[in-house]
């Protein structure tokens, strides 16, 4: 094992996968999270395991990555996945016109896509809108937003990672201009803790800009909140998506005994300042009913909102929708003269492992550690192992 | 939307460096809540605007992760599924679940809940929805996650005072036997112990309080039946039946 020590800030899916990867490559690792694990965006996301089909038309490389990661997660974290596939359904002529482009993009992205005759689709999912005119099947699925990251945390913890919750980072320590550690406030004991580090990895998602600002560094990140609404009945087993360019309320994700419609797209400056706009609720019900007409007849369960960590600057919601779902790892030593600090921005919950691989590749390159990434072939422990 | 001014009376405490609870107090926060807001939404606003040191657990905000269980006006509930305006009056009392290890304020470490869960139990089961419908040939069965979100509300409501595996772990044992019948012998041996399926007094608090309809008491009864069916000698007398003693 190397004697290098890395500190990860942020206990969402990205931080979870990074600390697991660091430990598998023998790097000592500590993670600090301001609240409970996955209490930022990760726990609140829509729960879709993305085959990548949704992104294929716009961005083949993101779509390909989603597909690869879907295959990997089904291998290493199958206990956190409802593996039922997904249907993209056409509702009108415009959708039908979009279909060939969509199919070609999926094929070019390596996503196995299959035509399901409409009659058969309605036999598989009897609650589907019987008016659908076409149905295409892709390997989507449902994720457990809390238990998938917990599987990474559990495995990292059993491999010796230190994980501190309820410990917001309040500042950095420096040697010259380089970051050499973090200051974290332990809310449990109401005391400050200093943690030295050879490298600090900022994995705070939509909060990443707030954290880099503590080190006088600006990064282009736009928190993009979106609403989800759940009703108390599982109406389908497959994820049902509207076959058209990505828009509001066009994905219905089943999970346990729930059906969840999402989502919308806003922009905000402060990811803590988010509340479900009341008009979203009726809008989401109406969107869901076009896919599964009995949705709004079910009992209301919950409505909630979460902020996407979008890469780039946007001044409006439309701008925000056009921001890429891709991710990048910023080396602030190179870009801002602030050695010792890396920031991971963007991405999706589905590609958490790939984000970690790219980040830890850079960590190893910077520290001179020659260890390959092993996370794609390491089966994760049960989420319950985090607590036992 | 209609707003109501509410006072949240919140249990506050910290732990000292030896892990002992200290500085116990109740603090009040006043907040206008609307009909859509849950107790969890209110806590988020209080933490953002009034006291950034407030500790509580949360993740999914829709009753799937099981982290936000607490005592709300004395009742065991998920903060994310409890509408603040639907509670009687304008004072809302919040306390942590004491059957887990306190971390501070409303936050607990749920580790004790998992101590008696079956090892490596699967969390994915067959979906009963459209079970007999046509399936794509790529999959053998429709599947979904277990109903139990591991919130610990059942354990916290259970009146049994002697050493007891508790409703959540026992329900998980029965679910694992249903999911993987090949583990039946092994798992029945685990629950056919003095602190296994027998101390239950059928107070049924667990089934009443469970937010996802697991009905742990029914699983405990099924486990006892399976012990009998398999011709095993019960490790203890069943707990004497009594009616609910604590508020669920
Ligand atoms: C509405 C919506 C729906 C989505 N649906 C899907 C989906 O279906 N499928 C999918 O794959 N992806 C989905 N996503 C995307 C996905 O949720 C995110 O990309 C992913 O969860 C981001 O994870 P993260 O770990 O980078 O960020 P986060 O989960 O936000 O983690 C960052 C963490 O940093 C912590 N933090 C902040 N400041 C500090 C500090 N000072 N000190 C310590 N810790 C700090 C926060 O508390 C937080 O826990 C969705 C996103 C949104 C908004
Ligand atoms: S059985 Fe119900 S109350 Fe008990 S832990 Fe599971 S979900 Fe919570
Ligand atoms: S926050 Fe997940 S159950 Fe309440």
Contact call for residues A33 and A55 (beta carbons, < 8 A) = no
pLDDT at A327: 85
Which helix or strand (DSSP H or E) is residue A17 part of? helix A13-24
Task: Name which of A123, A143, A187 to mutate to probe chain B: the one with the most chain B Cβ atoms within 10 A of its Cβ.
Answer: A187
Q: Is the pLDDT of residue B244 over 70?
A: no
Looking at beta carbons, which residues of chain B come within 8 Å of A275?
41
User: What is the C-alpha separation between A320 and A334, in angstroms, rounded?
Assistant: 27
Nearest atom of ligand 3 to the alpha carbon of B65 = 2
* CB contact residues (below 8 A), chain A span 54-83, against chain B: 78-83
For residues A150-159, b (16+ Cβ closer than 10 Å) or e, as one string? bbbbbbbbeb
Q: Is the pLDDT of residue B96 over 90?
A: yes
Angstrom distances, CA of residue A99 to CA of A67, A252, A284, A304, B67 = 19, 19, 24, 31, 41
User: What is the C-alpha separation between B61 and B79, in angstroms, rounded?
Assistant: 9
User: What is the C-alpha separation between B112 and B121, in angstroms, rounded?
Assistant: 17
By C-alpha distance, the chain A residue nearest B18 is: A189
Average pLDDT, chain B: 95
Contact call for residues B71 and B87 (beta carbons, < 8 A) = no
Q: Do A35 and B58 touch (CB under 8 A)?
A: yes
The tens-digit pLDDT sequence of chain A (388 residues) is 678 999 999 999 999 999 999 999 999 999 999 999 999 999 999 999 999 999 999 999 999 999 999 999 999 999 999 999 999 999 999 999 999 999 999 999 999 999 999 999 999 999 999 999 999 999 999 999 999 999 999 999 999 999 999 999 999 999 999 999 999 999 999 999 999 999 999 999 999 999 999 999 999 888 999 999 999 999 999 999 999 999 999 999 999 999 999 999 999 999 999 999 999 999 999 999 999 999 999 999 999 999 999 888 777 777 777 666 678 899 999 999 999 999 998 889 999 999 999 999 999 999 999 999 999 999 999 999 999 9
User: What is the C-alpha separation between A21 and A19, in angstroms, rounded?
Assistant: 5
Is the beta carbon of A10 within 6 A of some atom in ligand 1?
yes
To the nearest 10 degrees (0 to 180), the angle between helices A13-24 and A352-367 is 50
For residues A18-52, b (16+ Cβ closer than 10 Å) or e, as one string? bbbbbbbbbbbbbbbbbbbbbbbbbbbbbbbbbbb
Could you give the ipTM of this predicted complex? Answer: 0.96
Residue A83, SS3? coil
β A178-186/A114-115 pair status: unpaired
Q: Is residue B3 very low, low, confident or very high in pLDDT (cuts 50, 70, 90)?
A: confident
| Residue B15 in contact with partner chain A when CB distance is under 8 A | yes
| Residue A214 in contact with partner chain B when CB distance is under 8 A | no
User: What is the C-alpha separation between A138 and A142, in angstroms, rounded?
Assistant: 13
Task: Name which of B36, B63, B129, B131 to mutate to probe chain A: the one with the most chain A Cβ atoms within 10 A of its Cβ.
Answer: B129
What average pLDDT does range B7-29 have in this prediction?
95
Minimal C-alpha gap between B233 and chain A (Å): 30
Q: Is the pLDDT of residue B146 over 90?
A: yes
Contact call for residues B196 and B237 (beta carbons, < 8 A) = no
pLDDT at B247: 53
Q: How many CB atoms lie within 10 A of CB B52?
A: 13
Contact call for residues A260 and A47 (beta carbons, < 8 A) = yes
- For residue B59, the CA-to-ligand 3 centroid distance in Å is 6
Q: Is the pLDDT of residue B125 over 60?
A: yes
User: What is the C-alpha separation between A19 and B111, in angstroms, rounded?
Assistant: 21
Minimal C-alpha gap between B64 and chain A (Å): 8
């Amino acid at each position: 094992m190397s004697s290098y020590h890395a500190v990860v800030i942020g206990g969402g899916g990205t931080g979870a996968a990074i600390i697991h990867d660091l430990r598998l490559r023998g790097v000592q690792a500590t993670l600090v999270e301001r609240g409970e694990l996955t209490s930022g965006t990760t726990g609140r996301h829509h729960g879709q395991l993305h085959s990548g089909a949704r992104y294929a038309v716009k961005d083949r490389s993101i779509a390909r990555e989603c597909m690869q990661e879907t295959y990997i997660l089904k291998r290493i974290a199958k206990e956190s996945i409802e593996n039922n596939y997904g249907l993209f359904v056409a509702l009108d002529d415009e959708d039908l016109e979009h279909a060939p482009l969509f199919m070609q993009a999926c094929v070019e992205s390596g996503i196995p896509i299959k035509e399901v005759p409409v009659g058969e689709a309605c036999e598989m999912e009897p609650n589907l809108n019987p008016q659908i005119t076409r149905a295409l099947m892709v390997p989507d699925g449902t994720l457990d937003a809390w238990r998938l990251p917990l599987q990474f945390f559990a495995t990292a913890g059993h491999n010796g990672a230190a994980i501190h919750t309820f410990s917001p980072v309040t500042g950095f320590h420096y040697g010259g201009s380089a970051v050499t550690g973090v200051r974290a406030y332990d809310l449990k004991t109401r005391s400050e803790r200093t943690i030295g580090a050879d490298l600090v990895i900022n994995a705070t998602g939509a909060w990443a800009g707030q954290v880099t600002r503590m080190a006088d560094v600006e990064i282009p990140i736009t928190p993009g909140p979106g609403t989800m609404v759940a009703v108390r009945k599982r109406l389908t087993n497959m994820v049902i998506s509207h076959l058209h360019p990505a828009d509001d309320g066009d994905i219905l994700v089943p999970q346990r005994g729930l059906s969840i419609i999402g989502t919308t797209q806003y922009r905000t400056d402060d990811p803590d300042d988010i509340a479900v706009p009341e008009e979203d609720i009726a809008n989401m019900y109406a969107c869901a009913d076009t896919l599964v007409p009995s949705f709004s007849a079910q009992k209301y369960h919950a409505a909630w909102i979460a902020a996407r960590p979008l890469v780039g600057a946007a001044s409006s919601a439309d701008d925000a929708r056009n921001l890429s779902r891709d991710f990048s790892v910023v080396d602030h030593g190179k870009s801002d003269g602030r050695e010792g600090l890396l920031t991971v921005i963007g991405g999706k919950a589905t590609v958490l492992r790939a984000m970690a691989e790219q980040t830890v590749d850079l960590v190893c390159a910077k520290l001179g550690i020659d260890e390959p990434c092993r996370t794609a072939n390491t089966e994760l422990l049960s989420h319950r192992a985090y607590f036992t | 939307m209609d707003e109501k001014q509410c006072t949240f009376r919140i249990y506050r405490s910290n732990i000292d460096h030896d892990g002992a609870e200290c500085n116990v107090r109740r603090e009040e926060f006043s907040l206008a809540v609307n009909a859509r807001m849950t107790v969890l939404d209110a806590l988020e606003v209080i933490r953002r605007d009034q006291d950034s040191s407030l500790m509580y657990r949360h993740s999914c905000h829709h009753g799937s992760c099981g982290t936000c269980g607490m005592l709300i006006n004395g009742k065991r509930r998920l903060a994310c599924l409890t509408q603040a305006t639907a509670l009687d009056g304008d004072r809302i009392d919040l306390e942590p679940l004491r059957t887990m290890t306190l971390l501070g304020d409303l936050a607990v470490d749920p580790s004790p809940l998992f101590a008696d869960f079956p090892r490596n139990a699967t969390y994915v089961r067959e979906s009963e929805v459209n079970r007999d419908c046509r399936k794509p040939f790529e999959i053998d069965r429709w599947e979904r996650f277990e109903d139990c979100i591991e919130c610990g509300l059942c354990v916290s409501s259970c009146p049994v005072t002697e050493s007891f595996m508790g409703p959540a772990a026992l329900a998980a044992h029965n679910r694992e036997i249903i999911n993987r019948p090949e583990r039946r012998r092994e798992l029945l041996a685990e629950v056919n112990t003095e602190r296994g399926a027998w101390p239950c007094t059928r107070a049924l608090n667990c089934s009443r309080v469970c937010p996802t309809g697991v009905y742990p008491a029914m699983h405990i009864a099924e486990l006892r039946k399976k012990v009998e069916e398999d011709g095993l000698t019960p490790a203890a007398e069943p707990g004497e039946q009594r009616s609910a003693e604590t508020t669920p």
